Structure 1
Amino acid sequence: MILDKLENANLYKGIHPGIEKALNYIESTNFNDLPIGKHEIEGIDLFVIFKEYETKPVDGNLLESHREYIDVQYMVEGVERMGVTMHTGQVPKKEYDAVDDYMLFDEPYDIVTVNKGMFAIFFPDDIHMPDITTGEPSSVKKAVFKVKIRHS
């Protein structure tokens, strides 16, 4: 997992070409002009889901991980907490769903806070739970980029 401010994005652009494209998209996009929803950048290899929602308490929610995509989550407005732990052989509570590229885990995790202007990058070994409230539910706008690990 990588957690940083957008002004440090150049430090991470050499990791994967899709991550670089996602970070460049963030830097060059006025999200006030982007409609809520899914937007293809490079078909299934790179797309963004622009979301607006209320953060929520954990309340028994499960952590997720992916196999085919890296998540680049950019906080456009608001603040939320995210749970995260490393995949070290834990058995998923919900087995891998190949169609939607996720599996769910019920594991102990650490909490990070993601403020406006920050991004988190989650790799397949990063089990994560976004959308957590910092206390009371609050409004958030977030861009979630899906970066395909292997190009089709």
Structure 2
Amino acid sequence: MISGRLSDIAAANGIDPRLAAIIRQALARRPETLSPGRHDIDGENIFMNVMTFDTQPSHSKCYEQHRHYLDIQILLSGQERIDFGPSGAASEPGLYHEEEDYQLCQTIMPCQTMHMLPGMFAIFLPGEPHKPGCISEAAQAIHKVVIKVHRRCL
């Protein structure tokens, strides 16, 4: 997992230049103005999901992990907590859904937590379990974009 502020992207502070370019390309489309849903950038290679939803208690959600896509999660408004762990941390993962590239699990070990504020990003590599959209301080509506990057692009 890699995290930081969008200003880190502009300053190229340790972010892979290919990832930084993808993030800049997605942000140039002004995701904060787009309707919720999928927006293609490069077909199945790179696309973004714009979403608005209410945060939920962590215990009511599952961790997700992917095999083929990186998730670049960018919070546009509100606050959220993301629980996550390193690759291989998933305990008893469920069935893998090939077409949508996800697998769910209830628990991970070890578990870490980050609190996201607007203008922050978190990059989850394939195999890294993460549980976004959790209540940080109080339940609230958040607006975010998740850029999906197929690992063949890197």
| Correspondence for 2:144 | 142
Letter in 1 for 2:114: V
* Cα deviation 1:7-55 (Å, max 9, x = unaligned): 00123142xx3x2343112442433421221100000000000000110
> 1 CA distance for matches of 2:144 and 2:38?
12
The CA deviation at 1:3 is 0.9
> 2 CA distance for matches of 1:127 and 1:21?
24
> 2 CA distance for matches of 1:139 and 1:100?
25
Residue 121 of structure 1: which of 115, 123, 131 is its match? 123
Letter in 1 for 2:3: L
In structure 2, list runs of 5 or more residues that go unmatched: none
SS at match of 1:94: coil
TM-score of the aligned structures, taking structure 1 as reference length:
0.88
The CA deviation at 1:112 is 0.4
| Correspondence for 2:112 | 110
SS at match of 2:25: helix
> 2 CA distance for matches of 1:110 and 1:49?
24
| Correspondence for 2:45 | 45
State which drifts further: 22-31 or 97-106: 22-31
Is residue 2:34 matched to residue 1:34? yes
State which drifts further: 94-103 or 110-119: 94-103
State which drifts further: 124-133 or 91-100: 91-100
Instruction: Kindly indicate whether the alpha-carbon contact (under 8 Å) linking 1:22 and 1:72 is maintained by their aligned counterparts in 2.
Output: no
Change (3 A) 1:115 1:89: closer
> 2 CA distance for matches of 1:60 and 1:35?
27
* Cα deviation 1:128-147 (Å, max 9, x = unaligned): 00000113210100000100
In structure 1, list runs of 5 or more residues that go unmatched: none
> 1 CA distance for matches of 2:121 and 2:61?
22
TM-score of the aligned structures, taking structure 2 as reference length:
0.87
> 2 CA distance for matches of 1:41 and 1:111?
30
Is residue 2:61 matched to residue 1:61? yes
Letter in 2 for 1:45: N
* Number of equivalent positions: 148
> 1 CA distance for matches of 2:63 and 2:101?
13
> 2 CA distance for matches of 1:33 and 1:91?
38
